């Protein structure tokens, strides 16, 4: 087996799309973890990757044969403010492989040293953010949410300077691609229409081949990206995920969750929840994510205007028509998902209002998001199990009033209660990456070089929908409902 069978397409685009740059070697690379199952799916040899040559490649100490390392150029709106040049400041794309399913995948080193886009940064990553992204991205896979993935984490044997000295690490990230809304903005901001066209053609060929057959391939591309993003954000909300920094340079046009910086999961439900320490105005709060996704997609549409039609008026009309489809896509995915979480298999008038009323009562009573829906699974089968749900509400009677209407609605279902409960357990996770568990895992690794909590958390989160009695403490909410918890971008 070839260790890394590269087949690189992005480097065949014009050289203004990227800067060639090899990773910067590190002092003493040591493999923390290799995702052997993912390696095998990619058609890679996990034994080679975990050996000396493989670890050197994963750390950036050696460029494997066939790699063509680059740092990609992109721009972006950061908290609404446009920055015309960002780019990969601490990540280097080694190349692409075609996996066993015939899907093209990027292999990127994150924390691999400075690039021309580093903007005075050191290009390195600290151990904590690397472990956070490894755990959360792999948890998202198990939850069934499109995402970039973690192939490996490697300790560098070097310290990085942040507020304090921290151990350094490199994450090997796998993605359908690393092309972002901000990549299109990079060329549009320079009036480089041919750059936008070349990028759009590449994205169509790589991610949306059906669009090439449409009467207007570029409008079909825009519509396809809009559809994927609408469904992706709906899936985030359904598991309580808060991305934390939905800048346009953090939105993948492939429809995957990307860039796990100040991300977190809801504990007590509140749509205004903000975890990111730098989001002082709540732009990227949990409940704002659908609106921000549309805002970002509008920025993408603006970059494609020169390609959509021959005159500006017609181009704007094409873009507006595509963007008008976002709301229906999102609402169908979100409300359909909420109905499934409540055990509703058929569609009835008032289902969305029933779900919305529950969420309102949860917010008013500081009920834990994940535990409420998981405990409803048993309550759907046995009314005596209501106690476990009631106990999550500051005022338990707030649940009682809603539960009467819920059971009246469940009575209209054809399925028996046991089948309903089983279906609910398949969409309501028992285990999510609880923020306090993530922090404890990072502290153990950073402060004591203890990776046992990291491994244990990965194991539990690999089966989020399964009852795991031996791991019940991992399902528990933190004291105080997690109020006041803050995350940091990790750069």
Place of tokens 């998001």: 369
In whole angstroms, give the CA distance from residue 180 to residue 293.
13
Please return the burial class of 456, using the count of CB atoms within 10 Å of its CB with bins 0-12, 13-18 and 19+: middle
Tokens at residue 199, please? 């990028």
The answer to whether 382 touches 446, Cβ cutoff 8 Å, is no
Task: Report which of 420, 362, 416, 429 is spatially closest to residue 390, judged by C-alpha positions.
Answer: 362
Task: Say which of 99, 192, 210, 249 is annotated catalytic.
Answer: 249
Structure tokens of 11?
A: 């480097």
In degrees, rounded to 5, the angle at the alpha carbon of residue 396 between the alpha carbons of residues 430 and 373 is 20
Is-contact 193 83, C-beta < 8 A? no
- Rounded to whole angstroms, the Cα distance separating 106 from 173 reads 8
Neighbours of 327 (CB within 10 A): 12
Identify the CA nearest to 9 among candidates 88, 52, 72: 72
Q: Going by C-beta distance under 8 Å and a sequence separation of 6 or more, which residues neighbour residue 101?
A: 41
Question: Which residues partner with 125 through β-bridges?
Answer: 169
Distance, CA of 472 to CA of 210 (rounded, Å): 45
Active site residue 249: yes
Both structure tokens of 159: 């310290």
Distance CA 233, CA 216 (A): 26
- The kind and range of the H/E element at 123 are none
Nearest one of 432, 439, 431, 442 to 32, comparing CA atoms: 442
Of residues 361, 432, 347, 445, the one with CA closest to residue 402: 361
Sign of torsion over alpha carbons 100, 104, 109, 110: negative
Positions annotated as catalytic residues are: 249
């Amino acid at each position: 087996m070839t260790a890394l069978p590269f087949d690189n397409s992005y480097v065949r685009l014009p050289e203004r799309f990227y800067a060639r740059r090899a990773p910067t070697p590190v002092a003493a690379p040591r493999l923390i973890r290799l995702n052997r199952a993912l390696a095998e799916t990619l058609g890679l040899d996990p034994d080679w990757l975990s050996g000396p040559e493989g670890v050197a490649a994963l750390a950036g100490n050696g460029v494997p044969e066939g790699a063509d390392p680059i740092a990609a150029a992109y721009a972006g709106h950061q908290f609404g403010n446009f920055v015309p040049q960002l780019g990969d400041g601490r990540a280097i794309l080694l190349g692409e492989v075609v996996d066993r399913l015939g899907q093209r995948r990027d292999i990127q080193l994150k924390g691999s040293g400075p690039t021309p886009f580093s903007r005075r940064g050191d290009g390195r990553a600290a151990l904590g953010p690397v472990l956070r992204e490894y755990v959360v991205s792999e948890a998202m896979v198990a939850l069934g949410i499109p995402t970039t993935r973690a192939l490996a984490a490697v300790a560098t044997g070097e310290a990085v300077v942040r507020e304090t000295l921290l151990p350094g690490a490199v994450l090997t990230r796998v993605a359908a691609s690393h092309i972002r809304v901000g990549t299109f903005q990079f060329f549009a901001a320079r009036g480089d229409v041919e750059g936008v066209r070349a990028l759009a053609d590449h994205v169509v060929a790589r991610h949306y081949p059906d669009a090439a057959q449409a009467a207007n391939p570029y409008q079909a591309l825009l519509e396809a990206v809009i559809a994927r993003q609408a469904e992706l954000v709906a899936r985030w909300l359904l598991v309580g995920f808060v991305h934390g920094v939905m800048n346009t340079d953090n939105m993948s046009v492939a429809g995957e969750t990307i860039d796990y910086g100040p991300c977190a999961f809801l504990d007590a439900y509140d749509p205004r929840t903000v975890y990111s320490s730098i989001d002082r105005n709540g732009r990227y709060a949990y409940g704002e994510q659908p609106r921000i996704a549309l805002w970002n997609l509008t920025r993408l549409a603006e970059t494609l205007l020169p390609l959509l039609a021959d005159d500006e008026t017609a181009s704007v009309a094409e873009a507006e028509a595509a963007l008008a489809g976002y709301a229906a896509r999102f609402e169908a995915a979100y409300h359909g998902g909420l109905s499934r979480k409540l055990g509703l298999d058929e569609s009835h008038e008032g289902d969305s209002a029933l779900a919305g009323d529950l969420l309102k009562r949860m917010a008013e009573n500081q009920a834990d998001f994940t535990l409420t829906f998981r405990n409803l699974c048993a309550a759907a089968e046995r009314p005596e199990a209501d106690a476990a749900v009631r106990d999550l509400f500051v005022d338990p009677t707030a649940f009682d009033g809603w539960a009467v209407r819920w059971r009246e609605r469940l009575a209209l279902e054809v399925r028996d209660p046991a089948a309903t409960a089983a279906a609910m357990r398949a969409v309501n996770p028992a285990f999510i990456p609880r923020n306090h568990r993530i922090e404890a895992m990072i502290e153990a690794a950073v402060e004591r070089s203890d990776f046992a909590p990291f491994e244990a958390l990965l194991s539990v989160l690999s089966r989020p929908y399964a009852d795991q009695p031996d791991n019940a403490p991992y399902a528990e909410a933190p004291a105080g409902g997690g109020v006041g918890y803050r995350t940091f971008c990790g750069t």
